[in-house]
Amino acid sequence: MDTLDVSRWQFGITTVYHFIFVPLTIGLAPMIAIMQTMWVVTKKDHWYRLTKFFGKLFLINFAIGVATGIVQEFQFGMNWSEYSRFVGDVFGAPLALEGLVAFFMESVFIGLWIFGWGRLPKLVHLACIWLVAIGVNASAFFIIAANSFMQHPVGAVYNPETGRAELTSIWTLLTNNTALAAFPHAVAGAFLTAGTFVAGICGWWMVRNMRRTKTVGPAEATRLETDARTMYRPGARLALLVIIIAGIGVIYTGDVQGKLMFQQQPMKMASAESLCDTELDPDFSILTIGTHNDCAGVTHVLKVPYVLSWLAEGKFTGVELQGVNQLQEQAEQDFGPGNYRPNLFVTYWSFRAMIGLAAGSAALALAGLWVTRKGRVPDQKWFGILSLVAIPMPFLANSAGWIFTEMGRQPWVVHPNPTGVDMIRLTVDQGVSDHASATVWVSLITFTLLYGALGVVWFKLIVRYAKEGPLEHDMHPPGDTDHEEPEDPDKPKQLSFAY
Amino acid sequence: MGLQEVWFVLVAVLFVGYFVLEGFDFGVGMLMPIVGRGSGLPADTRRRVALNTIGPVWDGNEVWLITAGGAMFAAFPEWYATLFSGFYLPLLIILVALIVRIVAIEWRSKIDDDAWRKRCDWGIIFGSWVPAVLWGVAFANIVRGVAINADKQVESGFFDLLNPYALLGGLTTALVFALHGAVFLALKSADEVREDAVKIAARLAIPAIPVAGAFVLWTQLAYGKGWTWILVAAAAAALIGVVFLTRAEMEGWAFVLTTVAVIATVVLLFGSLFPNVMPSTLDPAYSLTIENASSSPYTLKVMTWAAAFMTPIVIIYQGWTYWVFRQRISTKQIPPSIGLKFKAKTW
């Protein structure tokens, strides 16, 4: 492979790794903030226990999210220096803002939250986790605004003297309609991920506790049932509510984003549908077979009428959609010879995987609300299994969605805006750094192996802590005088948390 | 002062912040295995004292680097692109070290197992030593200049970066950060760890003074300007002062002086660089300067507003964190390990 391919693989691999952990952080931070708020408001210990339990899982995840994110900040310059030169004037601004506004906030206040138990006043400590929650979401906004410039450049002009895109309006850049659709879509996806994660773990624990009551002594059985009823059930219900709201959000924002893409990046949508030739009211494709990275190899097996017209323009008939072949001809006229088709196989299937995998969360939400209706605590084994099976699915859907978004804009790294400045466009081969391919191979292999190893450790830690459940020493809040020995003024107070 | 000068200064400020704050984080990580070794304390306890002196703050400290990178990208995209593509392998090694360090710190206490902790400790030690050395090498090379051609591509290979001046720079940052960390530890810990940190600081000062002295003098003589002599003097005086203050157990003032030494050194490097941002050794015409590497006036203006508004807020809340966690940490305050055992209990 040449430098371009290796660089693309490297960016893809590192970004997909990063975005395994990111959505959980983005969604889980506000959920933990809500749990802690519930504890502060209702003073019920089980909300405290849930906060601590999911707080541990959150921190295990936060660490690797930061670790995999740090590379991204430098990778543009390392591997895509020509791209960085071309768009740095525009693209650097949201990145710097992200650091100034969001990264500082989340990393400083996460430290205060971790170490501040029992040291900060309760409300100040609560404010810390809320600021973390705001910070992680703000950082998502800035980076998605940056990415949206690559999909749909706005707020910039091309300066022929310097040969680069130059920012003309930060406001236009930050209110790019692509960003305003992509940001809520990604955040809704993140909430769906975190909601499914919490609901899955609580659901599994609920079933486990209820089933165990039959095999243990009466005292233990009471404890298990109380935990299931007073802790896991409210935790699960909260998370199920999050899934429902996030699910509606994902569908709505996805629809908005889809309609935008049909206008702004028709090639991406045509290839997502394997729509090879321009058609009036084409059918929505559900299943195709074939080798499929070219139009000739596609055989449509299952199609539904009307759906695609609705997705594209919000009406059922009278919609003409352009096909890949016509778009290719058009692009060659506009931009000169070249292959302007994305990988049809990847776009087609990642689009379907993204949508299809959301079914896991939907099934969990509907089943969960049903089995916990009217104060019920489920003990059905199938629900325990469903809870676990649902957890990875939104993670995979997130990856699929980003793979679709990013591979759908190929061969562009800055996709030309059909109604924007003509010269603000760049293909990936123009954006890559001039390295020997061996150099990039070294970093590709290093990051892949390192992240792979860390990913395995992350998974084991998450599983280990999830299986352990809420811990003994987190039964009661610090400073809870009913359960703590009176303070000895001669003895130095132990830290509530230490690495 | 034009906006390009403002942004040169702001990038310098961000790197000063990074090296002052992460300097002692690296130092603590570098010294973690040896501090308090003679005191008969269990290794894990004294290591945890050391680690927890930076516990609540190290993550926020590291963001100074991320923001410095972002600021370079926004204000001087050519600098960002040339530097990071030109210093590809050293940057890769630094990133690997930082990644390993982050997860090692955060995950260390998660599993109650000696082999696990040992592995995490190696991660922290590796992740602290490597950037401490390589940042010095990288910055010395930036000041010295590399072979930048007409296309703004760096032609110097990895081994060209390992020239005597740069290696001295790496040795300097490693020693100064270790000293900075030792003084910070002496300031933030109590009892055995504190006493040992004082001793380590006194011992580290002996090589640090001549090495750092030689490096700043070399920088000044080869690349410095008239006004930067004051920084050479400040760095040298501060390092010498540290020796006396640590002996007198005035850790607070000693820490102020190591901070001054770090600031003076970094400002000296940036001051020597100005108005270049990356000089070329091939032809001065190929050098990147604040003029030919910067963004457009509009971008600089927007970013200036953002920085003017956000930087004070960040400094205030980050400063408050240090205030909240200002107490010294003693071994008696370290709670028992609450990590889980490796193997899950059976159920």
When the pLDDT of each residue in chain A is averaged and rounded to a whole number, the result is 90
Q: Do A104 and B111 touch (CB under 8 A)?
A: no
Please determine, for residue A314, whether its predicted confidence score (pLDDT) is greater than 50.
Answer: yes
Q: Do B55 and A446 touch (CB under 8 A)?
A: no
Pairing of strands A156-159, A164-167: antiparallel
Contact present, A41 and B73 (Cβ < 8 Å): no
Contacts of A63 in chain B (CB under 8 A): 102-103, 105-107
Q: Do B60 and A473 touch (CB under 8 A)?
A: no
Q: Do A60 and B335 touch (CB under 8 A)?
A: no
**Helices marked H in A213-232 — which ranges?**
218-227
Q: Do B103 and A95 touch (CB under 8 A)?
A: no
Residues 6+ apart with CB under 8 A from B345: A468
Residue environment code for A7-36, b if the CB has 16+ CB neighbours within 10 A, otherwise e: bbebbeebbbbbbbbbbbbbbbbbbbbbbb
* Least confident among A86-100, A188-202, B148-162: B148-162
Contacts of B334 in chain A (CB under 8 A): 494-495, 498
Distance from CA of A326 to the nearest CA of B (A): 37
> Rounded CA gap, A158 and A171, in Å?
18
Dihedrals phi, psi of A233, to nearest 5 degrees: -65, -50
A118: its two tokens = 């029992």
> Rounded CA gap, A117 and A111, in Å?
11
Question: Which tops the pLDDT comparison, A290 or A393?
Answer: A393
Distance from CA of A55 to the nearest CA of B (A): 13
Contacts of A471 in chain B (CB under 8 A): 338
Q: Do B84 and A77 touch (CB under 8 A)?
A: yes
Closest-CA residue of chain A to B71: A96
* Amino acid at residue number B104: A
Give which of B85, B287, B290 is closest to A431, Cα–Cα: B85
Closest-CA residue of chain B to A86: B77
pLDDT band at A119 (very low <50, low <70, confident <90, very high): confident
pLDDT in tens, A323-378: 888 899 899 998 999 999 998 889 988 998 999 999 999 999 999 999 999 888 89
Predicted TM-score (pTM) of this structure: 0.94
> Rounded CA gap, A67 and B98, in Å?
7
Q: Do B296 and A167 touch (CB under 8 A)?
A: yes
Closest-CA residue of chain B to A448: B96
Contacts of A437 in chain B (CB under 8 A): none
Distance from CA of B314 to the nearest CA of A (A): 7
Distance from CA of A493 to the nearest CA of B (A): 6
> Rounded CA gap, A251 and B71, in Å?
36
| Nearest CB neighbour to B88, from listed A64, A435, A468 | A435
Please determine, for residue B347, whether its predicted confidence score (pLDDT) is greater than 50.
Answer: no
pLDDT band at A491 (very low <50, low <70, confident <90, very high): low
Give which of A409, A413, A408 is closest to A430, Cα–Cα: A413
Q: Do B103 and A457 touch (CB under 8 A)?
A: yes
Q: Do A111 and B71 touch (CB under 8 A)?
A: no
Closest-CA residue of chain A to B338: A473
pLDDT for position B38 = 77
ipTM of the complex: 0.94
pLDDT in tens, B308-342: 999 999 999 999 999 999 989 988 888 888 888 87
pLDDT for position A479 = 62
Cα distances (angstroms) measured from residue A371 to each of A196, A383, B228: 16, 8, 73
Q: Do B81 and A81 touch (CB under 8 A)?
A: yes
Distance from CA of A76 to the nearest CA of B (A): 8
Contacts of B302 in chain A (CB under 8 A): 93, 167, 170
pLDDT for position A273 = 84
Q: Do B334 and A494 touch (CB under 8 A)?
A: yes
- Residue A136 DSSP one-character state: H
| Nearest CB neighbour to B334, from listed A74, A111, A495 | A495
pLDDT in tens, A152-211: 999 999 999 988 999 999 999 999 999 999 999 999 999 999 999 999 999 999 999 999
Closest-CA residue of chain B to A450: B96
B220: its two tokens = 């000044």
DSSP 3-state of A377: coil
Burial of B341 (0-12, 13-18, 19+ CB in 10 A): exposed
Distance from CA of A312 to the nearest CA of B (A): 36
Contacts of A164 in chain B (CB under 8 A): 77
| Mean pLDDT, rounded, for B163-187 | 95
Give which of A466, A465, A496 is closest to B336, Cα–Cα: A496
pLDDT for position B185 = 94
* Least confident among A118-132, A287-301, B73-87: A287-301
Please determine, for residue A291, whether its predicted confidence score (pLDDT) is greater than 70.
Answer: no
Give which of B150, B110, B184, B165 is closest to A59, Cα–Cα: B110
Contacts of A204 in chain B (CB under 8 A): none
Contacts of A146 in chain B (CB under 8 A): none
Please determine, for residue A473, whether its predicted confidence score (pLDDT) is greater than 90.
Answer: no
| Nearest CB neighbour to A96, from listed B48, B56, B70 | B70
Q: Do A104 and B314 touch (CB under 8 A)?
A: yes
Contact present, B181 and B204 (Cβ < 8 Å): no
When the pLDDT of each residue in chain B is averaged and rounded to a whole number, the result is 92
Q: Do B84 and A104 touch (CB under 8 A)?
A: no
Q: Do A96 and B51 touch (CB under 8 A)?
A: no
Q: Do A104 and B108 touch (CB under 8 A)?
A: no
> Rounded CA gap, A263 and A116, in Å?
50
Give which of A172, A210, A5 is closest to A90, Cα–Cα: A172
Distance from CA of B286 to the nearest CA of A (A): 16
Residues 6+ apart with CB under 8 A from B23: B132, B176, B177, B180, B181, B258, B262
Q: Do A93 and B111 touch (CB under 8 A)?
A: no
pLDDT in tens, B179-233: 999 999 999 998 889 989 999 999 999 999 999 999 999 999 999 899 999 999 9
pLDDT band at B346 (very low <50, low <70, confident <90, very high): very low
Distance from CA of A94 to the nearest CA of B (A): 8
Handedness of CA B215, B221, B222, B226 (dihedral sign): positive
Give which of A191, A169, A181 is closest to A145, Cα–Cα: A181
Distance from CA of B165 to the nearest CA of A (A): 24
Contact present, A265 and A217 (Cβ < 8 Å): no
- Residue A486 DSSP one-character state: P
Dihedrals phi, psi of B61, to nearest 5 degrees: -65, -40
Distance from CA of B52 to the nearest CA of A (A): 6
| 3-state SS string for chain B | CCHHHHHHHHHHHHHHHHHHHHHHHHHHHHHCCCCCHHHCCCHHHHHHHHHHHCCCCHHHHHHHHHHHHHHHHHHCHHHHHHHHHHCHHHHHHHHHHHHHHHHHHHHHHHECCHHHHHHHHHHHHHHHHHHHHHHHHHHHHHHHCECECCCCCECCCCHHHCCHHHHHHHHHHHHHHHHHHHHHHHHHECHHHHHHHHHHHHHHHHHHHHHHHHHHHHHHHHHCCHHHHHHHHHHHHHHHHHHHHHHCCCHHHHHHHHHHHHHHHHHHHHHHHCCEEECECCCHHHCEECCCCCCCHHHHHHHHHHHHHHHHHHHHHHHHHHHHCCCCECHHHCCCCCCECCCCCCC
A36: its two tokens = 């802690």
Mutate which: B95, B158, B278, B316, vs A, most A CBs within 10 A? B95
Contact present, B109 and A108 (Cβ < 8 Å): no
Distance from CA of A81 to the nearest CA of B (A): 5
Q: Do B296 and A461 touch (CB under 8 A)?
A: no
Q: Do B52 and A66 touch (CB under 8 A)?
A: no
Contact present, B85 and A79 (Cβ < 8 Å): yes
Cis peptide before A411 (omega within 30 of 0): yes
Q: Do A443 and B302 touch (CB under 8 A)?
A: no
Residues 6+ apart with CB under 8 A from A88: A164, B73, B74, B77, B78, B80, B81, B295
Closest-CA residue of chain B to A215: B347
Burial of B227 (0-12, 13-18, 19+ CB in 10 A): exposed
